[in-house]
Structure 1
Amino acid sequence: MRSARTSIVAGIVLMTVGVLLLLDLLGIVESAAYLAPLIFAAVGVLFLSLFIRGRENWWAAIPGSVFLGLAAVITATQLTDGRAGGAFLFLFMAAGFAAVYLRERANWWALIPCGVMFTLAIVVALPQELQGTPLAAVLFLGLAATFGLLSLVPVRTADHTGRMKWPLVPAAVLAVLGVAFALQATAVLIAAEYALPAAMILAGIALLVYAFRARHHGQHKTHGA
């Protein structure tokens, strides 16, 4: 059954490529414009079909999303002149990593590149007028949201199932940097040169608070035992 499905997909791809080449020879269409995205899309579909076949093939969603993203980027570039076409690659890759996590919840690490790719897709799609500090604000806030959401995901370990606390540390640091860049972009800060020192001070305070709470929680747990 699996070999039959693979043969069907491969047969459709070969027929489509042959038709395009024939139309190119007849001067009806220029196949070069469609051949590259078609090949990328076909390879992506093959990986996705492998992903669907079994839970152990969760890894196939990653290369499948990359090839489909490349096909989308080439197609969008040919159809439009905007720079937002590059965002499709990051969106497809984000979807691929999300599929990895949804297929196997033990792969919680996949949420990190998923959030990073989604954030990069937003950054690439931003208009030219928002380059500079607004772009940096979106980047850091998006990464902060990624780690913040990761702290809410239940993770199963050998002992128990619970939520991780360490993602709150990078989430706090990145959020402080993102807010600093956002304030700088909206001219709320007095001077641009104060943004980095203020962000570092606030990040240090966040780390100290986290360390104090973790130590206090550990002592309380020890005394309770």
Structure 2
Amino acid sequence: MKSARTSIAAGLALMALGGLLLLDLLGVLDTVAFLPALLFAGVGSAFLVLFVRSRDYWWAAIPGSVFLGLAAVVTATQLSGGDSGGTVLFLFMAAGFAAVYLRERANWWAVIPCGVMLTLAVVVALPAQWQGAPVAAALFLGLAGTFGLLSLVPVRSPGGQARMRWPLIPAAALAVLGAAFALQAAALLTAADFVVPAALILAGIALLVYAYRARHRGHKVHGA
């Protein structure tokens, strides 16, 4: 069974390599530009095979996700030239730590880096104009959610399984900081977004008042 899985992985890798070489010969893609991605994908796939073959190799999901993430970043950059590489890499790393926990539930600690990587993926994906308080709010609230989720994870104890309570302390502290930055971001957003509409409305009211008073004075002059 294990040899069959290895043969399948090797066959898929050879097919992918042959397909890229064919696209290079046809002038569709520049294979040399994708060579780093192929190397990263090959190393990542090797770690992934180790992870799949035995439960003892749960740790292989971490380097495997990193190398596969790097391959995805290089590929996405070559195809689109976008700046979402950081988000893609953090998502792959989060998936690796999630796999570590799902493979062996005793590795509850993997929930923390998984949540951190997801939070960083969100932070990196935020628009450039949201720098400052919004980024800090997303960071602290994401970390608070991570520790809050950790408090719900059952762990082994002498009496069976129980849930940890200590993650609630950093979760509460981080949530308070995140809420403070969120309120600050909301105040800044309100001031920045509504100052122009408010100025236009006030200017319109001033013009209406001026027109009313001018018309009222005109009536008085004509009636005098």
Q: Tell me if TM exceeds 0.5.
A: yes
Q: Which residue of 2 aligns with 1:127?
A: 127
Q: Say if 1:183 and 1:23 are closer, same or farther in 2 by CA, change over 3 A.
A: closer
1:73 counterpart letter in structure 2 = V
Q: Say if 1:13 and 1:144 are closer, same or farther in 2 by CA, change over 3 A.
A: same
Tell whether the 8 Å contact from 2:41 to 2:67 is kept in structure 1 after alignment: yes
How many percent identity over aligned positions?
A: 72
Q: Which residue of 2 aligns with 1:67?
A: 67
The reply to whether residue 87 of structure 1 matches residue 77 of structure 2 is no
Shift of 1:38: 1.6
CA–CA distance in structure 1, aligned partners of residues 23 and 98 of structure 2: 39
Between 77-86 and 32-41, the greater mean CA deviation after superposition: 77-86
The reply to whether residue 38 of structure 1 matches residue 38 of structure 2 is yes
CA–CA distance in structure 1, aligned partners of residues 7 and 65 of structure 2: 21
Superposition RMSD on alpha carbons, in Å? 2.3
CA–CA distance in structure 1, aligned partners of residues 118 and 19 of structure 2: 36
SS at match of 1:186: helix
1:169 counterpart letter in structure 2 = I
SS at match of 2:99: helix
Q: Which residue of 1 aligns with 2:153?
A: 153
Bigger radius of gyration among the two: 2
1:152 counterpart letter in structure 2 = L
TM-score under structure 2 length normalisation: 0.75
1:39 counterpart letter in structure 2 = L
CA–CA distance in structure 1, aligned partners of residues 28 and 55 of structure 2: 44
CA–CA distance in structure 1, aligned partners of residues 93 and 45 of structure 2: 14
Tell whether the 8 Å contact from 1:83 to 1:125 is kept in structure 2 after alignment: no
TM-score under structure 1 length normalisation: 0.75
Q: Say if 1:170 and 1:134 are closer, same or farther in 2 by CA, change over 3 A.
A: same
CA–CA distance in structure 2, aligned partners of residues 90 and 177 of structure 1: 23
| Pairing 1:181-220 to 2, within 5 Å after superposition | 181-187=181-187
Shift of 1:108: 0.5
Tell whether the 8 Å contact from 1:156 to 1:162 is kept in structure 2 after alignment: yes
**Where do 5+ consecutive residues of structure 1 fail to align?**
189-225
Q: Which residue of 2 aligns with 1:103?
A: 103
Q: Which residue of 2 aligns with 1:221?
A: none
SS at match of 1:161: strand
CA–CA distance in structure 1, aligned partners of residues 162 and 11 of structure 2: 47
Shift of 1:54: 1.8
2:6 counterpart letter in structure 1 = T
Q: Say if 1:81 and 1:31 are closer, same or farther in 2 by CA, change over 3 A.
A: closer
CA–CA distance in structure 1, aligned partners of residues 44 and 145 of structure 2: 29
SS at match of 1:155: strand
